[in-house]
Amino acid sequence: MRTTGEVMGIADNFGIAFFKAQDATGTPLPTDPGEGAFS
């Protein structure tokens, strides 16, 4: 059985909070705008 963790980023705006949450999980953010999930 695999456990799941939760993280939360807190900031005054969504972008910074999202970055903090992604950074805490170690998930790399795309550096090329064309590489995103919605490209």
The DSSP letter of residue 34 is G
Residue 13: the pLDDT is 95
Residue 38: the pLDDT is 60
Residue 32: the pLDDT is 78
Residue 4: the pLDDT is 74
Residue 30: the pLDDT is 76
Q: Tokens at residue 36, please?
A: 């995103």
Is pTM beyond 0.75? Reply is: no
Are residues 30 and 38 in contact, defined by beta-carbon separation less than 8 angstroms?
A: no
pLDDT tens track for 1-39:
566 778 889 999 999 998 898 888 887 877 777 766 665
